[in-house]
Amino acid sequence: MNTLVPTFYERRKSILSIDFTDRRKVQRRRNEEATSLEKRRLISQIRRHEREMIEVPVCLQVDGKELTGHTHNISLGGLLIIINSSLAVGTPITAQFSFGESFCFLNIVGQVVFCSPRGNDGSSQYVIGIKFSATRDIDQKILSTAIQVLRGSPSTEEKSSVSIIVAKDNVAPDVMDFHLRTSKSLEEPGIPAVRKSTVHASKIIGWGSYLPPQEITAQEINKLFKAEGYKNVGEVVEALTGIKSRRYADPELYPSDLAAIAAQDALNNAGMDANDLDVIIFCGISHDFDEPATANVIKEKIDAKNAYVFDMTNACNGFVTALDSLDAMIASGRCESGMVVTGERALPYLNWDPKTREDFKLSIFGYTVGEAGGAAVMTRTRARDTRGIKARWFSSESNHWRLALAGTLEGANSYNKFFRSDGLGLEKISIKTTPRALQEITEILGWTISDIDLVVPHQIPVSLTDNLYHKALGISYDKLIHIFPRYGNLATASMPVAVCEAIKLNRVKENDKILLAGVAAGFSIGFIGLVF
């Protein structure tokens, strides 16, 4: 036995030593081993299922292009696709499954683990292996049921499809890395805060709005103003902000009344019945009451018997936030269609009798706020549908929340409910933070500023619009829809009303590239890119 020991060590001398202290080498070796194992496992599935293929149409979206192919095999751990394009190993993807016309929908993130030419016949097709990462138990159950149905129902297979979207951030690889090697410390940084998303599954098919008929000009503002020692307040506000008029609703109307009219308008434009709505999200700043959710009142008024409803608030960015949330609900399969709706009653929150000069200064922006209702109907996109939400970018710079306030818990003093805003402070932080939002969302979209057909901003004073959107962001006036001079700041109703005005003016048409560019108190930024 002793004679074997020298032989063993002689063999070891001929083998190069591995520096296990070099973490990069170890990590690279593990990656190669994991990729090799996945490649062997998935290739074996090709052979094993050669006579039992699940062939579903595939639409691959990469770099703004759409390529078609089909699946070769779908399993609980991943899928094989055959397509006329190669993808690099490690590419993060999102797979959006549509099984049958209404059987079920599913979104799963994954990563390319191998890509090989298909055969040696000179074909341009590639076999691409995709491994799913961090799937939930419910996803596994849905996928397992769907696979069984597909194998036993050719008609369901024919009506199914898979959309594969190549991610442009590193979230999916990090999830995959964590999934494969659980020894990675949870305390280690590496997964960044997610400001953007690669999973979108909805399009807006109907816009609606309501503007009260009563037009309020500078002269009416002078009549409403009660504090002594101030002259021509309406004209002063007009000179400072560029507003010419705003709308105030009848005092007997509630936010839900304005919202319900806009909701019905959106349903009419979508050609949809209210009973087809699965979800209604009310996103207004003003509510009928603190409890229950105002969305319940709207549901009753439009007779949407089947909808689940709730309220959501995020200052003036409530509309884009609710759009983003409903898009996520549709993408996850929780609903097929829904509505984002708002109704804003500003008059009760405006201080017409400021006690000090400082109070008056903080109230000036409030005198530009108008009242309106707005709504958008959303539904699921289908395979090869060019319309829909394509990207989003959100951020909260919350150390600036003091710049704009309305309402406090000191309810015993009704004065505390009034809207107060530091206009100059808001302008400074918006100019500082929003250029990054525009740069990153256009990179995600693969658009340039010149590619965008229409920018729909939050409606703010003329000088701030000029300094922010035109000078800081470089957006030309002909690409902006600016309704502030005529209607004022409509809070969460600003964007839906602006889009409806753009439609009336023929400034937007189907397949136009639209950017919703929201800024709000908080300080909140919310950008959404969509194809109209």
Q: What is the pLDDT of the chain when averaged over all its residues?
A: 81
* β pairing state of 420-421 and 454-457: unpaired
Domains defined along the chain, listed by start: 39-180 (2.40.10.220), 202-531 (3.40.47.10)
Cα distances (Å, whole numbers) of residue 528 to 150, 203, 325:
35, 12, 12
Contact 443, 437 (CB under 8 A): no
Counting residues of the chain whose pLDDT is more than 90, the rounded percentage is 38
Burial class (CB in 10 A: 0-12, 13-18, 19+), 226: exposed
- Of 20-29, 218-227, 504-513, the range with the lowest mean pLDDT is 20-29
CA distance 487 to 211: 9
* pLDDT at residue 264 greater than cutoff 90: yes
* pLDDT at residue 53 greater than cutoff 70: no
Instruction: Identify which of 149, 175, 174 has the alpha carbon closest to the alpha carbon of residue 160.
Output: 149
What is the spatial order of strands in the sheet that 388-396 belongs to?
A: 388-396, 524-531, 513-520, 454-457
Cα distances (Å, whole numbers) of residue 262 to 207, 245, 504:
8, 21, 15
pTM of the model: 0.69
Match 């983003």 to its residue by tokens. Answer: 324
* pLDDT at residue 316 greater than cutoff 80: yes
* pLDDT at residue 445 greater than cutoff 70: yes
Tell me the mean pLDDT in the region 320-328.
Answer: 94
* pLDDT at residue 396 greater than cutoff 50: yes
Structure confidence by residue, pLDDT tens digits, 94-139: 887 777 655 566 778 888 888 888 766 566 788 888 888 766 777 7
- Of 61-65, 82-86, 281-285, 394-398, the range with the lowest mean pLDDT is 61-65
Instruction: Identify which of 442, 431, 366 has the alpha carbon closest to the alpha carbon of residue 397.
Output: 431
Q: What pLDDT is recorded for position 85?
A: 83
Query: In angstroms, how far is CA 512 from the centroid of its own chain?
Result: 18
Structure tokens at 182: 């659980």
CA distance 341 to 373: 8
Task: Please list, in sequence order, all residues whose beta carbon lies within 8 angstroms of the beta carbon of residue 72, skipping any fewer than 6 positions away.
Answer: 46, 49, 53, 54, 55, 79, 80, 81, 82, 127
CA distance 218 to 234: 4
Structure tokens at 185: 């410390």
Q: Would the CA dihedral through 102, 106, 111, 114 be positive or negative? A: negative
Task: Please list, in sequence order, all residues whose beta carbon lies within 8 angstroms of the beta carbon of residue 249, skipping any fewer than 6 positions away.
Answer: 212, 214, 257, 258, 345, 347, 371
Structure confidence by residue, pLDDT tens digits, 135-192: 677 777 777 777 777 777 777 667 778 888 776 544 444 443 433 333 333 333 333 4
End-to-end CA separation in angstroms for the chain: 80
Contact 433, 400 (CB under 8 A): no
